[in-house]
Structure 1
């Protein structure tokens, strides 16, 4: 399913199979929650919630939207990291079981004995309602990637009120299907929402209603819920107040009756709110870790929130000036050898990041990570990097490597080509600026000139699209979305959108037929060897410049708030929060 390139959903397949998450720290005002009946949670900066419908469209891919929607309408299969490890959280799911056929070409799902807030039972018809909506309107669904769900779901058969079977177009890896496709399904109250409309009419009706943010708390449409909370108020400015759903009969009852989700505009405003005591669960930036003691002295605990993500800098393989150089594996190896990830993670990111050597997240242990990626096939060494270039026909002239023997330099690399490349990077972040400067200095020691151009992140996103060499927009060579810009996966970290030929988020047009086969195998083979082979191949083939993966955020929580794990897929789960002190 296609991701979006803004601060979006982090690993929630209800919208996309993975996405570029641009995190930021924020600020607003709130009153102190001295009562254990209330919690004040700081939302990220300038990403105010603006969509209640638990079906995402491209204009509303904000991670806050999905976290809120999942709190109101529980997913069929909550496959996330909320229990401390990534897996199926059955307590937060409507389904209780999923049995795959022996040939892995279908699955029969069992629903729990659950009810909507109006007392009506949740049935297979409510799942079928979602299924029909997506089938009929797939091109408008943000989770759609041609060939994937719902295209590969050939039929939906209702067995009875609490059992149904979805048939696939071929055999799939059950883990991938559960974690990346079936987890996109949210049972919807067809008795309250369908109103005799067909799937296209219902889609239009629901989306039109969802555009009226000021009506979220009053519109009867949004009062029929299945999750542990309902909406008490929802401001167009971004403040959301959730109240416990007293009719909830699932496995994750709300521990705190009232949840205030507070919007912020700046990091300083949010930190001031923390210091004043008006935020119970907030955050600080990595550069503020030297202030940790001041927060602990005020009765807070500081806990990093690690993310299931990778961070990288895409090459534009179709750039007319440097594309031919980027297509040479030895050139990419020389660049990667010039990146001192350990120092970047420790110094620039203040110890709040882990080096990343390939397409599988390395902030958490997993069976997906290959030994090749884990062991770093291209350790930092300017000498090794320089030797790779000189052995392939490059000589250093005026401090910059220059192709002097084109037969050795590789196809399309002309004599006299200078190893000079430019990145368009996020502006406005001291941490990002420091990282780019450190990389610039390190590459210079190899003889690679690395120039830095900056722009607001939205401009970086719009100016570095997929392109062909003849297009004027294809002048970009490298792009970087900032040290807070990371690709967050669903639970199963496949690379079909990122690195498969023609993938919707294959920003630099990387293409390798052998890798395409490996990516396809990860979705169909039930063996972990398939995804480990993919991990090893891309750690070695370097489709991008691999960079350290920062923590999602440095959380600051009031002492006594606990009983939960911070979801590495970067969603928040208010029902799991509790005051234990």
Structure 2
């Protein structure tokens, strides 16, 4: 292998924060992350950790430019969004590191059984997957999977069912201990009664009941990663590899050891655990202070999608200003342009850069407080419909996002070409109309006021009355939290409040840090329960673990991040989407959630406005799950 002579990482330059480039997804917003399970002062702890990370990466020096000609194929680089850092290498994510910018890197080192997304396409990318298409039988209670024979580990051993078995052993231990981030009660591995192995390249899952193959393949099988049992089945670095994980207690010790090592950032480039990979890349350099990571093409890679580059690098930045400086100076080939700096578009275009909006298959939901002090109001379908009529998505897209986004009328956005989006979701069931909102209120017992909130004058549960629990004379006032410091989100929240005022609804805006919202939104009690609408402004993701967008995490019975929403009809449709075959069941639940306004559907901002050096090719079309896919890249010139 040719020596790439990649320079050591240098600290990133710090400056005052600005609008971040990509909207970060909210993988942490999971149903089982209830405030009851969080340590006291969770929001404050998160804030302190973030502050410590930012301070640790500040320095006066600027990143050095890497030559494109260090080796055949060249070395490209990309920037993560401001504040994001690749900081978890193990493809079994814990809660603190459950982010796409970690999993997208790790699945270049450790290939998942099923790779998701491609060049502008949603769904499973079978050509890049270790597993062939699963075969369902026995009334969809049995799933048989064959492994491709052309994948090997760096040590020359083939990727086989023994590596699949090792994954299931560790996953079961992680799910039981609450360490494994993707796990939700009732899901993998608890929905599998047993696994049988038919030699080295085939295994069969026996399920606890029939599941929809579309849902189970997309939202369960995508969790599986073959793991190098010959390197990892031990409990310390100097321990001999054995058959430790074959017992539940042993598997717990092994996953605890691997989690501990994955948290040791200072050893990423030297730890032998991370040297045995089956993916197209291997990690060769890492700076635990700046999070600068260096990868080279794996010379032992035998699978599909071999890299064209000799290597690539990842840079992290504490602000959008620092990222833009690195982009202008040529340190990174692939970066971002914040919407607040769109005036720089002509500069980059005239200096040989391409600018492309990165549309991702995420959605954006304003959570409603079904268990808090405003529950009597948001429980009313007519009021939710009125509120949805006041969300002016086309205006937000045009003026606050400058066209960089998608309309979103349900639990999946209008992503072109995706068969996971119901045809009905391409049309707004409640288009912006103050008049329509006013009509809904007056026809349900509210007296409008020109100077303040409407008041209930006809209490009761009849079709023309205010609804259960709403007393006569009650004001129509709702508190709304929204995340700072995004200027575009603040403008959307203000526009929404202004439209609501015109309709007779008083929206009390309450800007909060997103970390604070994590600790105060969700289900009440515990408190403080002083909100009725919570707008995070960052998308809920679909991808490696949740490919099929049923919104079950948000709106299934017992949910936390749906504000406690529960509707028996919706739950029945949701169960059918899980259990009965076909996409039609998915469409039914999407359509029902949309019409019921389970949450307020909100415009989805693009993940980023990508700014890409003219020498870099193969990056477009972009992956809808925010995966850079550097194996597709080439450098010219």
Q: TM-score range by the shorter chain?
A: over 0.9
1:143 aligns with 2:195: no
Q: What does 1:382-393 correspond to in 2, within 5 Å? A: 382-393=434-445
Q: 1:246 to 1:253 in 2, by over 3 A?
A: same
Q: 1:207 to 1:370 in 2, by over 3 A?
A: closer
Q: What does 1:44-59 correspond to in 2, within 5 Å? A: 44-59=81-96
Q: What does 1:123-522 correspond to in 2, within 5 Å? A: 123-138=160-175, 139-194=178-233, 195-196=241-242, 197=244, 198-236=250-288, 237-320=290-373, 322-397=374-449, 398-407=451-460, 408-468=465-525, 471-482=526-537, 484-488=538-542, 490-506=546-562, 508-522=563-577
Q: How far apart are 1:102 and its partner, in Å?
A: 4.9
Q: State whether residues 616 and 634 of structure 2, in contact with CA within 8 Å, keep that contact through their aligned partners in structure 1.
A: yes
What SS does the corresponding residue of 1:51 show, helix, strand or coil? coil
Q: How far apart are 1:404 and its partner, in Å?
A: 1.3
| Among candidates 103, 122, 127, match of residue 66 of structure 1 | 103
Corresponding residue for residue 86 of structure 1 = 122
Corresponding residue for residue 153 of structure 2 = 116
Q: State whether residues 72 and 228 of structure 1, in contact with CA within 8 Å, keep that contact through their aligned partners in structure 2.
A: yes
Q: 1:472 to 1:107 in 2, by over 3 A?
A: closer
Q: State whether residues 30 and 279 of structure 1, in contact with CA within 8 Å, keep that contact through their aligned partners in structure 2.
A: no
TM-score, length-scaled by structure 1: 0.92
Q: 1:370 to 1:260 in 2, by over 3 A?
A: closer
CA distance in 2, matches of 1:169, 1:401: 52
What do the CA deviations read for 1:343-399 (whole angstroms, capped 9, x no partner)? Answer: 111111111122211112213333333343322111111111101101111112333
1:528 aligns with 2:580: no
CA distance in 2, matches of 1:77, 1:34: 32
Q: How far apart are 1:65 and its partner, in Å?
A: 1.2
Corresponding residue for residue 100 of structure 1 = 136
CA distance in 2, matches of 1:217, 1:9: 28
Q: State whether residues 130 and 186 of structure 1, in contact with CA within 8 Å, keep that contact through their aligned partners in structure 2.
A: yes
Corresponding residue for residue 575 of structure 1 = 631
What SS does the corresponding residue of 2:528 show, helix, strand or coil? helix
The structure where strand makes up a greater share of residues is 1
1:561 aligns with 2:616: yes
Q: How far apart are 1:136 and its partner, in Å?
A: 2.5
What do the CA deviations read for 1:39-71 (whole angstroms, capped 9, x no partner)? Answer: 111011112121111101112112221111101
Once structures 1 and 2 are overlaid, which stretch shifts more, 458-467 or 258-267?
458-467
What do the CA deviations read for 1:411-468 (whole angstroms, capped 9, x no partner)? Answer: 0001111111111111222111111111111111101111211122111211213223
CA distance in 2, matches of 1:29, 1:428: 27
Q: State whether residues 74 and 226 of structure 1, in contact with CA within 8 Å, keep that contact through their aligned partners in structure 2.
A: yes
What SS does the corresponding residue of 1:247 show, helix, strand or coil? coil
What SS does the corresponding residue of 1:304 show, helix, strand or coil? strand
Q: How far apart are 1:503 and its partner, in Å?
A: 2.4
What SS does the corresponding residue of 2:364 show, helix, strand or coil? strand
What SS does the corresponding residue of 1:137 show, helix, strand or coil? helix
What SS does the corresponding residue of 2:482 show, helix, strand or coil? strand
What SS does the corresponding residue of 2:196 show, helix, strand or coil? strand
Once structures 1 and 2 are overlaid, which stretch shifts more, 366-375 or 514-523?
366-375
CA distance in 2, matches of 1:332, 1:93: 42
Corresponding residue for residue 23 of structure 1 = none
What SS does the corresponding residue of 2:454 show, helix, strand or coil? strand
CA distance in 2, matches of 1:526, 1:386: 41
| Among candidates 56, 59, 63, match of residue 29 of structure 1 | 63
Q: State whether residues 287 and 349 of structure 1, in contact with CA within 8 Å, keep that contact through their aligned partners in structure 2.
A: no
CA distance in 2, matches of 1:422, 1:505: 17
Q: How far apart are 1:161 and its partner, in Å?
A: 0.7
Q: How far apart are 1:32 and its partner, in Å?
A: 4.2
What SS does the corresponding residue of 2:555 show, helix, strand or coil? coil
Q: How far apart are 1:504 and its partner, in Å?
A: 4.7
Q: How far apart are 1:299 and its partner, in Å?
A: 0.5
What do the CA deviations read for 1:293-343 (whole angstroms, capped 9, x no partner)? Answer: 2111110000111111111211101122x2101111111111111121111
Once structures 1 and 2 are overlaid, which stretch shifts more, 401-410 or 29-38?
29-38
Corresponding residue for residue 17 of structure 2 = none
Corresponding residue for residue 78 of structure 2 = 41
Q: How far apart are 1:110 and its partner, in Å?
A: 1.1
Q: How far apart are 1:220 and its partner, in Å?
A: 0.9
Structure 2, unaligned stretches of length 5 or more?
Answer: 1-22, 34-56, 234-240, 245-249
Once structures 1 and 2 are overlaid, which stretch shifts more, 170-179 or 119-128?
170-179
What SS does the corresponding residue of 1:314 show, helix, strand or coil? strand
Q: How far apart are 1:505 and its partner, in Å?
A: 3.2
What do the CA deviations read for 1:262-304 (whole angstroms, capped 9, x no partner)? Answer: 0011111111111122210011122333322211111000011
Q: 1:10 to 1:146 in 2, by over 3 A?
A: closer
Structure 1, unaligned stretches of length 5 or more?
Answer: 1-5, 17-25
Q: 1:252 to 1:457 in 2, by over 3 A?
A: same
TM-score, length-scaled by structure 2: 0.84
- RMSD over aligned CA atoms reads 2.1
CA distance in 1, matches of 2:457, 2:156: 77
Q: State whether residues 9 and 63 of structure 1, in contact with CA within 8 Å, keep that contact through their aligned partners in structure 2.
A: no
Q: State whether residues 304 and 551 of structure 1, in contact with CA within 8 Å, keep that contact through their aligned partners in structure 2.
A: yes
In the alignment of these two chains, the number of paired residues is: 559
CA distance in 2, matches of 1:535, 1:250: 37
| Among candidates 546, 557, 560, match of residue 601 of structure 2 | 546
